């Protein structure tokens, strides 16, 4: 399948997941960057390392704030990238989070699920606001035995030309272990 995104530039993280995503996007002719710039067509953000914290184990607002940092940072990056995307009439935002955001059954990272719930809602707002400019915002949630390559494949699909009518949606990649229907 030709994803139709040769020549596009993607801002991705410089870590293990970023490397998996690079393996999925570079063969499609996508240029990878780790720096925000005007030429960015695709922004992929992901949640922080698991907090290892159940909600009842939270003892201070500081711990909640630390979890929230990634939401503020992601919004900052999305906002910085949006004007140039809208000007060019093409853009893709993809968030990668935890399947616990839908099933709310995290064993040990309930605090992390909260950030993905917020970004899934953010995607609905961006879908409404930036849809007319042909900019989409979606999420991939990983759970169960999903590998980074499994998740990267779904992210790459959401970045593709063919996924242009999907916006504000969430795809769960969990090998079928999750119980949430919606």
Binding site for another protein (CB under 8 A): 54-56, 58-61, 64-65, 68, 71-73, 75-76, 78-79, 82, 101, 104-106, 110, 113-115, 117-122, 124-130
CA distance 37 to 85: 11
| Shortest Cβ 28–another protein spacing (Å) | 28
Burial class (CB in 10 A: 0-12, 13-18, 19+), 63: middle
Q: How far is the CB of 14 from another protein (least distance, A)?
A: 21
As measured in angstroms, the least distance from the Cβ of 19 to another protein is 27
> Is 7 or 52 the residue whose CB approaches another protein more closely?
52
Which is closer to another protein, CB of 53 or CB of 142? 53
Evaluate whether 100 touches 106 at the Cβ level (below 8 Å): yes
Measure Cα distances from 159 to 61, 89, 144, 153, 178 in Å: 36, 14, 23, 10, 24
* Residue 137 bridge partners (DSSP): 93
Closest CA to 34 of 10, 66, 17, 2: 10
Shortest Å distance, C-beta 179 to another protein: 13
Spatial contact of 161 and 178, defined as CB atoms under 8 Å apart: no
- Tokens 């779904």 identify what position? 154
Nearer to another protein (CB atom), residue 7 or residue 76 = 76
Identify which of residues 133 and 153 has a Cβ nearer to another protein in the complex: 133
Which one, 1 or 61, has the nearer CB to another protein? 61
CA distance linking residue 60 with residue 33, whole number of Å? 36
Q: Please, what is the minimum distance in Å from the beta carbon of residue 101 to another protein?
A: 7
């Amino acid at each position: 399948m030709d994803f139709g995104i040769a020549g596009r530039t993607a801002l991705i993280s410089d870590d293990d997941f970023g490397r998996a995503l690079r393996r999925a996007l570079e063969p499609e002719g996508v240029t990878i960057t780790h720096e925000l710039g005007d030429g960015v067509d695709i922004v992929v953000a992901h949640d922080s390392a698991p907090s290892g914290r159940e909600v009842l184990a939270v003892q201070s607002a500081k711990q909640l704030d630390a979890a929230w940092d990634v939401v503020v940072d992601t919004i900052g990056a999305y906002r910085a990238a949006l004007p140039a995307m809208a000007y060019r009439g093409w853009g893709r935002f993809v968030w990668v989070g935890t399947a616990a955001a839908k099933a709310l059954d995290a064993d040990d990272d309930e605090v992390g699920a909260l950030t993905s719930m917020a970004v899934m809602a953010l995607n609905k707002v961006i879908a409404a606001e930036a849809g007319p400019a042909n900019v989409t915002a979606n999420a991939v949630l990983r759970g169960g035995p999903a590998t980074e390559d499994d998740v990267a494949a779904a992210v790459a699909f959401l970045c593709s030309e063919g996924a242009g009518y999907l916006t504000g949606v969430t795809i769960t990649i969990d090998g079928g272990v999750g119980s949430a229907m919606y």
